[in-house]
Structures are given as structure tokens and as C-alpha cells.
Amino acid sequence: MQIQPTASHFINGAYVEDTAGHFIDVVYPYTGEVVAKVHSATPAIIEQAIAAAKAAQADWAARSGVERGRILRRAADIMRDRNHDLSVLETYDTGKPYQETSVADATSGADAFEYFGGLAGALTGEHIPLAGGDFVYTRREALGLCVGIGAWNYPTQIASWKGAPALACGNTMIFKPSETTPLCALKVAEILYEAGAPAGVYNVVQGLGNVGASLITDPRVAKVSLTGSVPTGKKVYASAAEGLRHVTMELGGKSPIIIFDDADLENAVSGAVLGNFYSTGQVCSNGTRVFVQKGIKEAFLNRMSERLASGVNMGDPQDPDTNFGPMVSENQRSIVQGYIEKGKAEGARLVHGGGTPEKEGFFIEPTVFADVTDDMTIAREEIFGPVLSVLDFDTEEEAIRRANDTEFGLAASVFTNDLTRAHRVSAAFEAGTCYINTHNLAPVEAPFGGSKMSGVGRENSKLAINHYSEMKTVYVSMNDVEAPF
């Protein structure tokens, strides 16, 4: 299949190039090879995208919700039909195994277009009766031109999770992918256009953070939705505030998993595997602080080590049997290696992995530390790689207090067979997305997002509609105007 895109940007319904923009190499993380090159957006490209998206918005918003929804649902169908090719591309872009990308990326994007396509025709305001026959009605209106900025771990999914609710509400979008993974969002734009989205409704421009920064400071932009790290979130939030723009911030985490003695051990190990090693640990909501009650700690560690020793198949990510891929980049691998060294230096017990396999690609072994304490760097900072820390505890009260002792608040999960404890602990978690006896599922029907430093707003579900639209109040008088003079 063709990896090199037709051109770097997708604007106003067509691929567009400006070779004056500097080159961004697309590196396949399994081989280190440059598999494609795109140009960063120049000021002329940014202007072209903003002008096109702004010009397209009024007509798009004026169409009926049913019509917008039909186009989004058609895009969902096309994505499903092309799942294989899109998954292969996602694997080249990110290095995640095809075994994952074929079930978690384009499929999740298609779910978003189908779900929000279904909602588009049902978006309404309300009628509010008042005294004397007067009444108010509200109109749910689009915000206007929205900017989406994505991280590199789920490029198709992020481009779709932002695009689908934005377009359903009658907004237009300019999406800037991470410069590490620029390819997949172009396919989302191509598919939307093919499905009937008018030119300019969904545009993609490439570039580093500075391209994102100049998009969000433009006065024609009404909203920015970022998926990225907390430091970037602070910068983007601050510059959006200058123009009082709407924001959605999907940021990082250091989420806890609490496993009680009475939990099903095999399920708890599976949850911790999913919450630490899926996508080679490059998932925002990962449960990287695994609090295990003392009575089952050694049994948990033994079973986790057995599962990792016998189950991990590290290799060519395009091979459907591979279930553990490389890190997205050499840089990200060395960041993770640095954290592993810190874990050892600060006295954590290395139970599994910790090394870099002798093979091509930016691989790092799935790594488990035990006897981790709350103050260690590996227990406090987001690592964004396959490093699981086990911390032990005695009581429920202690586990909750320590689990919440973090600036982050993205996700949290509890494993127990005690029904009331499961709900009590979930209520006590300071996190936006909680799980009972599982971890890391994100169906489009459910709100997803973070509390505290992990974010502002929610993606997915009916709630996302509130973050891509606003209510206009129309007061209707049925009586003469009463004036004092």
C-alpha cells in the first residue's frame, strides 16, 4: 500500500502542498526507516485552512442535522470497509501492533462517526413557558471553527473523536496531528470528503507545536480541543483564554488501580496488563500505580511475571501474531529508559523486564517494579511507556488516600468482589473515568475525560455535544412592552 500521502495537508476538500514548509520525517518505529515525508504548514497554508474552514461553516451549520448525520454515518461505513488498510497505516505511523490497530483505531473512529452521526438529527433546544403567555426557546448552535490538536498515540481515534461531535453540531474543524504521526488524520479527512462532507468542513494541517499555537490564537477560531501532555495543556489553555475560546483538554495521567485481597486474581492481572502494556504503555489512562493489598501481593507479582514471560510476543508489528510493539520513537524510548534507571536508583525492586531487547526497532521490555513507594519518581510522574509500579497497602482508607494523592485525575479502577466496596471506592476516587473490575475501556457511548490536572471537559457520549455547541436564548413576548416612561 502507499504510505507516502498524496500531499502534506488536506484543505478545502483537496490535498495541498507547500514545499516551503520544512520536512517532517515519518519514521516506522519497527525499523527506524523513513517511510514518508510531509512538509510542515507555512503561514500561507495555515491561512488557507482557516479561510476554508471559516467559509464552509455557515452552510454546514445551516444543513439539517439529519443530513450532516447521514454524511458522518457514511464516513463510518467507509472507515469500516477500509479497516485493514487504515490499520496497516496506523501501525506504520505509531508502531502499535496490527493485532491492536485492527480492532481499536479505525474501528473506534468509525464508532464516533456513527454515534455522533446518529445524534446529529436529534440535537434540539427547548421551549420554556413563562407568565402571561410569554415564552423562551433555546437554539443549540454551533460554536464555529474548531481546532483539534492530537497526541501521537492514537492518531486516527483522536482525529475522529474530535471531528465527529464537532461536525455533528455544525462546526468545521482544522485538525493538527502530532508531528510524530502525521499520516492517519489525512485519511480521516479524505474519507469524510468522500462521504459527502462539503469542502472545508474538515481540514488537516501538519506541523510542530508552533503550528498548533498559531491556529489557536487566530481570532476566527472559536474552540480548541487538545489531546496531549499537561505542560502543553497549560500553554494551550492559556492562549485560548486570551480570546475566551472554548476548550476541551484531554491530558496526561498517573492513574491508580486498587486490587483488594478478595478480587479475582486472574482478572486483576488482566486489568493491570491492559492498563500498562497495551499500546506498549502509551495510553493516557493507564493504571500505572497498581496498589495491591498485602495478602495477595506476592501471588499477584508471580502471576504477572508468568503472564509476561509466556504471553508477550514482541516483533514485527505488521505480523498479526505480534502483541507488543516498539515505542513510537527513539526519543520516547530513551525517556522511558531514564525512568527505569530512576526506579532502580531510588530503590524499587525490579521484578520483570527493564531492558532493551537486542533487535531492530525502538523496543523496550514490559517492566514491573515492586516495593514502589509514593514518593518515588516512577510513582509520581507520567512515564508513557510499559512500566508498571506495584505499591502495597493494608486498608481501604489508606489505598484511597494514596491513590488520590496525585495532581492527575484521569482514570482509576478498583478490583474487588465486594459490591458495596466497589461503589464506595469509585465514589471516593478523584478521577474522571473509573472502572470496577476492568481498566481502560472507552466506548463512544460513555463520557471520557479527566479531573484535576488531567483535563477539562469530556469527549464521547451525549456530553460531548455540550462542548461543541452553545445555547442561544430567544425570549418571545406575547404582550405589550411595559416601560417606566
Residues noted as catalytic: 250
Closer to ligand NDP by Cβ: residue 69 or 207: 207
Query: Which of 57, 107, 227, 469 is in the footprint of ligand NDP by CB under 6 A?
Result: 227
Q: Is 250 in the site for ligand NDP (CB under 6 A)?
A: yes
Q: In this complex, which beta carbon is closest to ligand NDP, that of residue 149 or of residue 167?
A: 149
Residue 153 near ligand NDP by CB under 6 A: yes
CA-to-CA distance for 166 and 170, rounded, in angstroms? 7
Is residue 142 helix, strand or coil?
strand
Residues 228-247 that bind ligand NDP (CB under 6 A): 228-229, 232, 235-236
- C-beta closer to ligand NDP: residue 343 or 432: 432
Stretch that binds ligand NDP, among 10-18, 134-142, 223-231, 477-485 (CB under 6 A): 223-231
Q: Which of 116, 455, 458, 464 binds ligand NDP (CB under 6 A)?
A: 455
d(CA 315, CA 323): 8
Q: CB burial class (10 A; 0-12, 13-18, 19+) of residue 76?
A: buried
Grid-cell match 484511597, residue found? 400
Q: Is 463 in the site for ligand NDP (CB under 6 A)?
A: no
Cell matching residue 208: 510542530
Q: Is 447 in the site for ligand NDP (CB under 6 A)?
A: no
Structural contact between residues 375 and 406, judged by C-beta atoms closer than 8 angstroms: no
208 touches ligand NDP (CB under 6 A): yes
Sorted by sequence, the CB contacts under 8 Å of residue 433 that are 6+ apart come out as 285, 410, 411, 412, 442, 446, 447, 448, 449, 450
| Among the listed residues 269, 241, 244, the one whose alpha carbon sits nearest the alpha carbon of residue 257 | 269
Question: Is 212 an interacting residue with respect to ligand NDP (CB under 6 A)?
Answer: yes
Q: Is residue 252 within the footprint of ligand NDP (CB under 6 A)?
A: yes
Q: How far is the CB of 340 from ligand NDP (least distance, A)?
A: 18
- Rounded-to-integer distance, Cα 287 and Cα 482, Å: 61
Binding ligand NDP (rule: CB under 6 A), the pick from 410, 414, 425, 456 is 410
Q: Is 287 in the site for ligand NDP (CB under 6 A)?
A: no
- Strand bridging mode 202-204 / 221-227: unpaired
1: Cβ–Cβ under 8 A, 6 or more apart, which residues? 85, 88, 89
Of 173-181, 240-248, 318-326, 337-345, the window that binds ligand NDP (rule: CB under 6 A) is 173-181
| Residue number, 73 or 96, with CB nearest to ligand NDP | 96
- Rg, Å, the chain Cα set: 24
Cell 498515540 maps to which residue?
153
- Is the Cβ of residue 175 or residue 363 nearer to ligand NDP in the bound state? 175
- Candidates 4, 178, 120; CA nearest to 462 is 120
How many CA atoms, within 13 angstroms, populate the side-chain half-sphere of residue 176?
26
**Which of 232, 221, 181 lies closest to 453, judged by CA?**
232
Eight-state DSSP code of residue 156: H
Shortest Å distance, C-beta 296 to ligand NDP: 29
In the complex, least distance from residue 207 CB atom to ligand NDP, rounded to whole angstroms = 7
CA 384 – CA 255 distance, rounded (Å): 12
Smaller CB separation from ligand NDP, 393 or 408: 408
Output 154 or 393, the one with its CB closest to ligand NDP: 154
Q: Which stretch binds ligand NDP (CB under 6 A): 116-124, 205-213, 365-373, 386-394?
A: 205-213
Residues lying near ligand NDP in the complex (CB under 6 A) are found at 149-153, 176, 178-179, 208-209, 212-213, 227-229, 232, 235-236, 250-253, 284, 382, 384, 410, 450, 455
